[in-house]
Amino acid sequence: MRIPKALLLLVPLGIGCGGKEEPVELPRPLLAESPFEFPISLWDAGVEGETRLMVRVTALGEVDSVYVKESSGYPEFDSAAVAGAGNLKFIPGRRGEKRVAHWVVLPVRFTKDSASVTGAPEQGT
């Protein structure tokens, strides 16, 4: 079952430290519709959950790597989150005028209301 929309807030990961580097402007998602599919078996059972992913967004705004940072406890949610994240497109992150690749934490919440990406931006490692 494809959920029609998703809310996407990214959590950036820390990159180098020290120096006088300009801060990184986070990648921003380009969403027409949600790429996340709620697993039918869990939908029918009324199960909800959240999977937190690590997603690497390239300097071209494409996702080139995804892995589960924190499991929902349900392999079906984790697999659906990874599969959907691979279909996301972004406005690339920037450092000054230069586009840069950047890792972000992507929380994907599966609820009966929607499958959405939620969370507040935070710097991490």
Q: What is the pLDDT of residues 37-73, one digit of tens each?
A: 999 999 999 999 999 999 999 999 999 999 999 999 9
Record the pTM.
Answer: 0.76
What is the b/e burial string over 2-12, where b = at least 16 CB atoms within 10 angstroms of the residue's CB?
ebeebebbbbb
Residues 98-114, mean pLDDT to the nearest whole number: 89
Domain 11-117: give its CATH architecture.
Answer: 2-Layer Sandwich (3.30)
pLDDT of residue 115: 53
Give the C-alpha distances (Å, rounded to integers) separating 78 from 72, 106, 108, 109, 124. Answer: 6, 12, 9, 10, 21
Domain boundaries, the chain: 11-117
Residue 50 near residue 76 (C-beta atoms within 8 A) = no
- The pLDDT of residue 4 is above 80: no
